[in-house]
Structure 1
Amino acid sequence: MMESPHSFQVKSAIHMNSIWRNRTFLSLFTAYTLSIFGGTFHTIALNIWVLKTYDSATLMSVILITHLVVTTCFSSIAGTAADRMNRKKMMWISDLIRCVLVIGMAIAIAVQSPFWVIILLTALTALSGLFKAPAFNASLIDVVGKEKIQTAAGAMSLADNIARTLGFAVGGVIVAAYGGVTAILIDAFMFFLSVILVLIVKDFPEHREALSAKTSFKEDFITGFTYIWKEPFARAITILSPMLILFFTTSLMIIQVMAIKEWNASPIEFGLIEASIPLGYMAGAGLIMFLGKRLAHRGVFIIGSMIGLGPLYMLLGGIESATVGIPLILLVGFMFSFCTLLVNVILRLEVSSTLQGRVFGIIGALTSVLPPAGLAIASFFTDKFGGGSVLFTCGLSLFVIGIVCWVFLKDIRRYE
C-alpha cells in the first residue's frame, strides 16, 4: 500500500531535520569527541609531570609554545593537503600516528627521558593533529549537507565543550589515582578508537576532481591565499575569526587575574567563573542548534554579538564583586557562541569544500599567532595598571572594532 502524501512529507521532514540518522556523521562525531576527551587527559598528565619533575613553569610554557610554533608554521600546509588528498585517509592516518606518538610519550615519561624528547614528541603529535582538523572541517558540509550544517556545527561545539569540561575533571582524578602514564595511555586508546570509527565509515564523500587535479602542491598552496585575498567574503571571515579569538582569550585571562587579585574570589566562586564561559557557550550553541534554519539574519547576530561583547567587558572591568561578575561572564560565553559558531557555519556554506581545507588552515595559523601576542601585551599592562582598566580598554576597543566591522564587512552583516 502506498504511503499518503502527508505521511511521506512527515517522514521526509524528520529525515531532513535529524543529523543523528546519518551514520557517517555519527561515526565522525564520536571519533572527534573521543579525541578531544582523551587529549585533556594528556594535557593534565604532561603539565603535572613537567612541574613535578622540573619544578619549572618556564618549561611548561615551552610545551605550549611548541604547539603554537608548529601550528603557525604548518597549519596552512596541512590545509592544502586536505584539499588535495583523500580526507578520510588523512583523518585515520593522522589519528593512528598520534596514537603511536602518544604511546611513545607515555614510555618517555615512565623512563624519565630528557626534556628534549618530550618536546620532540609534543611537536610531532601536534604536527600530525594538524592534518586531521582541516580534513574533518572541510568534509563536514559534504557529510551532512547545507540544510543541516548549522545543526551539525552546533552539535560539534556542544560536544567539544562537554568533552573538555568532563575530560579535565576526570583526567585530574585519573592522574591522582593511577598516575600520568595511565592517563596518557588512555589518550592513546581514544585515538585508536577514533581510527576504527573513521575506518568503518563507508559512505564518505570525496571530491574526485580535487584528487585528480594536475596542479602542483605549491600552486594549490598559493591558491588558498589568493582566494582569501580576492574573495571579499572569505577575506572578511579570515579577519573576523582570529580577531574574535584574540579579544576573547585576552579578556578571559584578565578576568581570571581580576577574580583573584581584585574580586578576592573564593575557590567556589573561582570555579563558577571558570565554568561560566563553557556553560554560556553551550547554551548558545544549543540554541543555535535547536533553531537551525529558523535562525534568520545570521550576519546581524555575528557582528551584533561582537559589538555587544564590548560593553560587557567594560562592565566587568568596573565591578568589584565575583557575585555580580558571574552572570555577566555567563552572558559573555553565550554571546561568544553566536560570533564564532555562526562564522564557522557561513564559512562552510559559502566557501567551496574543495578550498575549505586551505581556508581553515590559514585561519588556524592566524589564530595561533594573534592570541598569544594579545596575552603577552595584556599581561604586561595588567601588571602595570590593573585588570579592571585593561579589561575596560579591551571592551572599548572591541566595541569600536565591532562598529567598524558593521560598516565595512557588509557581506557578513547582510548574510541571512
Structure 2
Amino acid sequence: MPQKEGKAPSVFGNRFLQTILLSNILLQIGIWVRNFAILLFVSEKTNQDPYAISLISVAEFAPIFVFSFIGGTFADRWRPKRTMIWCDLLSAVSVFVVLLMIHYGSWQSVYLVTFISAVLSQFSQPSGMRLFKQHVPEEQLQQGMAMFQSLMAIFMVLGPMLGTFAYSRFGLETSVAVMGIAFLLSALSLVRIPKDKTEQRTDAAKGDFRKEFKEGFHYVWQSPVLRSLGFVFMLAGLAVGLAQALNLFIVTERLGQPKEFLQYILMVSGAAMLIGGGIVAVFAKRVAPQALLAIGMLVGAVCTVVVGYSTNVALTLVVQFVNGLVFPCIHIGISTMILKWSNESIVGRVNGVLNPMFIGMMVVSMSFAGALKAAYPLVSIYTGSGVLFLLGALVMLPIMSQKAPETVQPVAAE
C-alpha cells in the first residue's frame, strides 16, 4: 500500500501517475500506428482477403487467452517496474528484428509484430496494476483510473487518423519503426517510477509457480465481489462483441448510410468517452465503483436496444454519444474494484484471471455474430445484447452495499 506520510500529493501531482500516463501515451501512439499500418498493408497486399485480415485479430487476441494467466502469475513474482521496462525493451527489439525481415521481403512477418507485443503486454499490464496499488493512495485510485480511461478515449478519436496518416504518408516500414521508437521511449520514461521493493522479489521467488497459478483462481472464487465481477466481465464481453461486430450493418441497413459513415459514429463515441472519463475523474471520490459499473451497464443496455431499433441518423448519434459518455464508468468501476478488493501480492493474478473472461466472451460473440445476423434481424440481436448488459447490472445487486476493506486479505493458506 502507498505510504501516507503527511498529506498525499494531488492526483495530478502524483509522480507515478504522471510517468505511467506518459508511458501510455507513447505506447498508444505506437500501437495505433501499428494497428492501422498493418491493417491497410495486409488489405492491399492480399486484395482485402478476409482470412488474412482476420489473422491480425487472432495475433492480437490469442495471446490474451494463452498468456494472461501466466503473465499475471509472473507479474506477482517479479519486480513490477523492472518487468514493465524489460517488456517495453523486448517489444522494441522484436519490432526492429521484424522490420529487417519485412525489408528483406518477408511481408507475412507483420503478424509477428502484433503477436509479440500482445504477449509481452500480458506481463506488463498486470505489473502496471500492481504499481497502481503501491503508488496511488486508496482515495485517488478511481480518479487515476478515470485519467487513464480519458487517455484511451483520446486515442480512440485520434488513433485511427494518426495510423492512417502515418501509413499513407510514410509507408509500412516507417510506421513499424515508429512503434519500435515509441516502445523505447516508454521504457526510458518508466525509469522515473520509484524503485521496486526488494522484499517482494524475495518472497515471490520462494513460491511454487503451479501453486501460485491456482491461487489466482481460488482467490477470485473466494471473494463474493471478485466472483460477481467475473460474471459481469463475461456478460459485458458477450454484449460488446455482438454490438461491435454488427456496427457496420447498423450504418448500412438501419440508417441507410454508406459504410464510411461508421467512422463518424466511432468518433462521436470516442469524444463522448473522453468527456465521460473527465466527469468521472471529478466525481470519482463520491461514487462507489459498484455504482459506477452498474450505471454503465444499465445505460449501456438501454442505448444498445435503442441503437438496434433506430432508423434516424440524429437519434443514433445522440444515443451513441450517451453510451460513450457512460462507457468509462464500466472500465473505471471494474479496474477500481480489482485494485480495492485484491491484495497487492496477488493483484496481477486476479487481473490475469478476470481479463480473459471479457476478451474471451467478446471474441466468442464476434465469432457467432455473422451466423446470428443471417438467422435473426438486427433489432432482435441488439435487443439480446441489451439484455446481456441488463443481466450484468443485476449481478451487481448483491454486492452494491459492500465497502472495500481497509486491509485486503492476503492469499488464503490451503
For residues 127 and 365 of structure 2, the distance between their equivalents in structure 1, rounded to whole angstroms, comes to 29
Asked if 1:109 is matched to 2:102, the reply is yes
SS in 2 for 1:112: coil
Equivalent runs, 1:195-206 vs 2, <5 Å: 195-201=187-193, 203-206=194-197
How far, CA to CA, are the matches of 2:166 and 2:392 in structure 1?
Answer: 44
Output one character per residue of 1:385-405: Cα deviation in whole Å (capped at 9) or x when no partner: 2322211222134324533x1
Whether the aligned pair in 2 keeps the contact of 1:24 and 1:204 (CA below 8 Å) is no
1:265/1:323 Cα in 2 relative to 1: closer, same or farther (>3 Å)?
farther
Structure-1 residue corresponding to 2:390: 399
Given that residues 63 and 119 in structure 1 are in contact (C-alpha distance below 8 angstroms), is that contact kept between their aligned partners in structure 2? yes
Whether 1:368 aligns to 2:359 is yes
Alignment partner of 1:411 is 2:384: no
Matches within 5 A, 1:6-405: 16=9, 18-55=10-47, 56-113=49-106, 115=108, 117-201=109-193, 203-206=194-197, 208-209=199-200, 211-213=202-204, 214-265=206-257, 269-293=261-285, 295-403=286-394, 405=395
2:40 aligned partner, one-letter code = I
Structure 1 position 46, deviation (Å): 1.1
| Distance across 2 between alignment mates of 1:268 and 1:119 | 26
Which structure 1 residue ranges, 5 or more long, are not aligned? Answer: 1-11
Question: For residues 121 and 398 of structure 1, do their structure 2 counterparts lie closer, same or farther at Cα, with a shift above 3 Å needed?
Answer: closer
- Tell me, yes or no, if the aligned pair for 2:235 and 2:391 is still in contact at 8 Å: no
**What do the CA deviations read for 1:121-180 (whole angstroms, capped 9, x no partner)?**
443232122211110122112112112111111111111221343232122111111111
TM-score of the pair, normalised by structure 1: 0.89
Distance 1:37 1:49 in 2: 18
Q: Give the RMSD, CA atoms, in angstroms.
A: 2.2
User: 1:337-357 deviations in whole A, cap 9, x for unaligned?
Assistant: 212211211221121121110
Distance 1:144 1:101 in 2: 32
> Does the 8 Å contact 2:72/2:351 carry over to 1?
yes
TM-score relative to the length of structure 2: 0.89
Q: Distance in 1 between matches of 2:385 and 2:17?
A: 39
SS in 2 for 1:212: helix
5+ residue gaps, structure 2, are: 1-5, 405-414
The Cα shift of 1:67 comes to 2.4
Alignment partners' CA distance in 1, 2:230 and 2:388:
19
Q: Percent identity?
A: 17
* Alignment-mate amino acid for residue 273 of structure 1: I
Separation in structure 1 between the aligned mates of residue 187 and residue 396 of structure 2, nearest angstrom = 43
Question: Are 2:338 and 2:351, in contact at CA under 8 Å, matched by a contact in 1?
Answer: no
What code does the residue aligned with 1:301 have? L
The one-letter code matched in structure 2 to 1:155 is M
Structure 2 contact 237–360 (Cα < 8 Å) conserved:
no
Q: Equivalent residue for 1:8?
A: none
2:232–2:393: 8 Å Cα contact kept in structure 1?
A: no
**1:247-300 residue CA offsets vs partner (Å, 9 max, x unmatched):** 12321332332112221125775332111222222222111111131x234423
Greater Cα shift, 225-234 or 270-279: 270-279
By how many angstroms is 1:57 displaced?
2.2
1:377 Cα deviation (Å)?
1.8
Cα pair distance change 1:406/1:161, threshold 3 Å: closer
> What is the distance in 1 between the residues matched to 2:87 and 2:396?
39
Distance 1:384 1:234, change over 3 A: same
**Displacement after TM superposition at 1:361 (Å):** 1.2
Residues 28-63 of structure 1, C-alpha deviation per residue, up to 9 Å, x if partnerless?
220122101211101111112212222222112112
Query: In structure 2, how many angstroms separate the alpha carbons of the residues matched to 1:164 and 1:38?
Result: 13
CA distance in 2, matches of 1:392, 1:241: 19
- For residues 164 and 305 of structure 1, the distance between their equivalents in structure 2, rounded to whole angstroms, comes to 19
Distance apart, 1:245 and its partner CA: 3.2
AA of the residue aligned to 1:265: Q
Q: Is the 8 A contact 1:142 1:353 kept in 2?
A: yes
Question: Where does residue 408 of structure 2 map in the other structure?
Answer: none
1:353 alignment partner, SS class = coil
> 2:22 is aligned with what amino acid?
T
